[in-house]
Amino acid sequence: MELSINGERRALPSGSDDPAMPLLFALRDGLALTGTKFGCGIGQCGACTVHVDGQPQRSCLVPVGSLAGKAVRTIEGLAADRIGAALQRAWIAHQVPQCGYCQSGMLMAAAGLLARTPRPSAADIDAAMTNLCRCGTYPRVRAAIGSAAAELAGARRP
């Protein structure tokens, strides 16, 4: 079985190619893309968030057999576009991570938000950012999303 990951066709090795295999484990164990984290395994924490056809998805709940013809993007591919690159800069500027464990999922959720809603309100951010952070980085996450949105809006001006 092959998947489209970060713009490349990647063959899943034996052991990761059962159609019922959660994408999270295929990424981490089959393809060594360990930036996507395993938190709860039941769709609650968001640590495993990736994009499937541009939409944030919790990869612990996505069987690889459902991904034929779809494009998966992981944290390793985040900075390949302007939204991801802006978020990466904002995360650094605001020193968002503490332990860092939840941050891949936070960034992927934030990238999905800014793709849908370039200038999100505080309510938009709260609605989109349902990821859990044991270190309590929520205020810095919100501030960094605002900074990235402002930078991107500025870059769009003629």
Confirm or reject binding of residue 41 to ligand FES (CB under 6 A). yes
Nearer to ligand FES, 90 or 152 (CB): 90
- The least CB distance from residue 106 to ligand FES, in Å, is 7
Nearer to ligand FES, 38 or 148 (CB): 38
Confirm or reject binding of residue 35 to ligand FES (CB under 6 A). no
**Both tokens of residue 105?**
């999922």
| Long-range CB pairs of 49-55, under 8 A, 24+ apart, other chains included | 49/104, 49/105, 49/106, 49/108, 49/109, 49/131, 50/23, 50/74, 50/75, 50/108, 51/108, 51/111, 51/112, 54/112, 54/115, 55/112
Which positions from 114 through 143 interact with ligand FES, judged by CB under 6 A? 133-135, 137
- The least CB distance from residue 16 to ligand FES, in Å, is 17
Confirm or reject binding of residue 97 to ligand FES (CB under 6 A). yes
> x/- binding map, residues 47-66, to ligand FES, per CB under 6 A?
xx---------x-x------
Q: Output the CA torsion 25→54→73→57 (10° steps).
A: -20
Conformational region of residue 43, where left means phi above 0, alpha means psi within -120 to 50, and beta covers everything else: left
Confirm or reject binding of residue 74 to ligand FES (CB under 6 A). no
Q: Return the amino acid letter for 120.
A: P
Which residues here bind ligand FES, judged by CB under 6 A? 38-41, 43-48, 58, 60, 97-103, 133-135, 137
